[in-house]
Amino acid sequence: MSEAHAASESAFATAQSQLRSVAGMLGLDAGLTEVLAHPKRELTVNFPVRMDNGATRVFTGYRVQHNEARGPVKGGIRYSPMVSLDEVRALAMWMTWKCAVVNLPYGGAKGGVIVDTKALSESELERMTRRYAAEISIVIGPNRDIPAPDLGTDGRIMAWIMDTYSMQQGHSEPGVVTGKPIEIGGSNGRVEATGRGALFITQEACRARGMALEGASVAVQGFGNVGGVASRLLKQAGAKVVAVSDSIGGVYSEQGLDVEALYAHRQAGGILNQHPLKHSDITNAELLELPVDILIPAAIEGQITEQNAPKIRAGMIIEAANGPTTSGGDKILAERDIYVVPDILANAGGVVVSYFEWVQDLQSYFWEEAEVNQRMQKIMTRAFAEVSSMAQERKLRLREAAYIVALQRVVQAIKLRGIYP
Ligand code: NAD
């Protein structure tokens, strides 16, 4: 957003200040702004879990529902020692904007448990997940709040949540969570959805800039679910992927990498820069500053900062990760006129296909992967066009334009519904 935030500012304070800045641009009523500045509902649960050694341990978890004016709320569950109520509040608000910018009939939510999953056995993780699911079952449900995976959680954990909720209801409720294994109501194409959505957005961004994706040089930070899929699909689309990295470091080749070989090497448990191919090593810091046409941060938050933003040489940045650019870094990118597609638009492919999963579960009728991908492309392309035309109309960057599109939709829903009673 336009104003810089102190490094120490909390995530929720940042989210609130982003909201207030866009509300100011729209001349939004002060009361409505306050409604949106606070989550509608926050649940904190402290719950006991029997550990393998017979001891009882108390865990703390959260589920925050930001706004449900546009429909049931949706958002992931994060397992990490760093989870805090403040962070979950911010993530819930960002989910409201992400769902609205791609025009899904959802509001935003987020959940989390303060836990280091690496310190738990499989059975402890299952008992903890099931007890957390039971504790939050008073606020979740297929028509109310539909969780999904996030950092530290996966399809297996979604299966346990779905089963726990279903046992309480007395019948199967696959629509209570998304990101489930396909065998129990997951969607074809969900695993690849965020990376594929990032490809569709990159194609649209290239079209908007009058630039060919074919032959364009691309650097991708992060080679996990999002970055790995995005790199492979970009290469298949004719781009020259010159660098990829993971948390340890990356690899670079000016002629373009053999992405498939690297992906297979990584899937087999290999380390990127210990590959048998003749690519040169590169650090994450160097990758971000490469002279490429397109830079795709797809790893973690806070990678483009006030320190490295002046040195970034990419002409276009597609934010596949959540929050990869700090406010200070973004201000510099804006001054340097670097074209940035913001995270709430660039990585929304995941939530779009989660929505498809939920629709398929409610109808008990499942689609082929080609249909999932085609429908997702339609939604992502339309959202990009709407955000681009808002940017042109108001002479704004895509980040502010995306927030305006999202905020206008949420505000419209609140106005139509009115304030109860
Ligand atoms: P992942 O765990 O599968 O992969 C993360 C990748 O980032 C790994 O390659 C890891 O080695 C790398 N990484 C971790 N720390 C790093 C560091 N300090 N420097 C460089 N690389 C580092 O996670 P993912 O699902 O691919 O998510 C990546 C980003 O995309 C996150 O910001 C996530 O919130 C966001 N996102 C994911 C989805 C989804 O559907 N998976 C949806 C929307 C947004």
Dump pLDDT digits (tens) for 207-224. 999 999 999 999 999 999
Which amino acid appears at position 132 of this protein? Y
Helix (H, G, I), strand (E, B) or coil at 114: strand
Tens-digit pLDDT profile for residues 240-271:
999 999 999 999 999 999 999 999 999 898 88
Number of Cβ atoms within 10 Å of the Cβ of 283: 14
Written as six digits, the tokens of 373 are 């991908």
Q: Show the ligand 1 pocket: residues with CB < 6 angstroms.
A: 194, 221-227, 245-247, 284, 298-300, 320-322, 347, 350
Buried b (16+ CB within 10 A) or exposed e, 380-418: beebbebbbebbeeeebbbbbbbbbbbbebbbebbeeee
pLDDT at res. 397: 97
pLDDT, mean of residues 310-323: 97
pLDDT confidence tier of residue 277, bands split at 50, 70 and 90: confident
What proportions of the chain, in percent to the nearest 5, are helix, strand and coil?
Answer: 50, 15, 35
pLDDT confidence tier of residue 137, bands split at 50, 70 and 90: very high
Mean per-residue pLDDT over the chain, rounded: 95
Query: Which residue, judged by its Cα, is nearest atom 32 of ligand 1?
Result: 321
Contact 155, 180 (CB under 8 A): yes
What element of type H or E holds 60? strand 56-67
pLDDT confidence tier of residue 3, bands split at 50, 70 and 90: very low
pTM, two decimal places: 0.95
Q: 259-267 vs 225-236: helix axis angle to the nearest 10?
A: 150
Question: Phi and psi at residue 316, in whole multiples of 5°?
Answer: -140, 135
CA of 89 to the centre of ligand 1 (A): 20
The residue with greater pLDDT, 35 or 279, is 35
Buried b (16+ CB within 10 A) or exposed e, 28-39: beeebbeebbeb
pLDDT confidence tier of residue 275, bands split at 50, 70 and 90: confident
Which amino acid appears at position 300 of this protein? I
- Active-site residue, selected from the candidate residues 110, 180, 235, 240: 110
pLDDT confidence tier of residue 278, bands split at 50, 70 and 90: low
What element of type H or E holds 264? helix 259-267
Ligand 1 pocket test: pick from 87, 247, 341 the residue with the most ligand atoms within 8 Å of its Cβ.
Answer: 247
CA of 225 to the centre of ligand 1 (A): 7
Query: Is the model's pLDDT at 115 over the cut of 50?
Result: yes
pLDDT, mean of residues 149-176: 97
Query: Is the model's pLDDT at 5 over the cut of 70?
Result: no
pLDDT, mean of residues 78-82: 96
Q: 168: Cβ–Cβ under 8 A, 6 or more apart, which residues?
A: 134, 137
Share of the chain above pLDDT 70, in %: 98
pLDDT, mean of residues 40-53: 98
Tens-digit pLDDT profile for residues 353-402:
999 999 999 999 999 999 999 999 999 999 999 999 999 999 999 999 99
Contact 81, 112 (CB under 8 A): no
Quote the DSSP letter at residue 348. T
pLDDT confidence tier of residue 276, bands split at 50, 70 and 90: confident
DSSP for 382-405, please give it. HHHHHHHHHHHHHT--HHHHHHHH
Query: Is the model's pLDDT at 6 over the cut of 60?
Result: no
pLDDT at res. 2: 36
Query: Is the model's pLDDT at 44 over the cut of 50?
Result: yes
- Specify whether the backbone of 224 is left (phi greater than 0), alpha (psi in -120 to 50) or beta: beta
Ligand 1 atom closest to residue 300's alpha carbon, by position in its atom list: 32
Is-catalytic flag, 110? yes
DSSP for 274-335, please give it. G-SS-PEEE-HHHHHTS--SEEEE-S-SS-B-TTTGGG---SEEE--SSS-B-HHHHHHHHH
CA of 300 to the centre of ligand 1 (A): 5
pLDDT at res. 401: 98
CA of 246 to the centre of ligand 1 (A): 9
pLDDT, mean of residues 108-130: 98
Query: Which residue, judged by its Cα, is nearest atom 31 of ligand 1?
Result: 321
Query: Is the model's pLDDT at 200 over the cut of 50?
Result: yes
Query: Is the model's pLDDT at 4 over the cut of 80?
Result: no
Quote the DSSP letter at residue 186. P
Query: Is the model's pLDDT at 82 over the cut of 70?
Result: yes
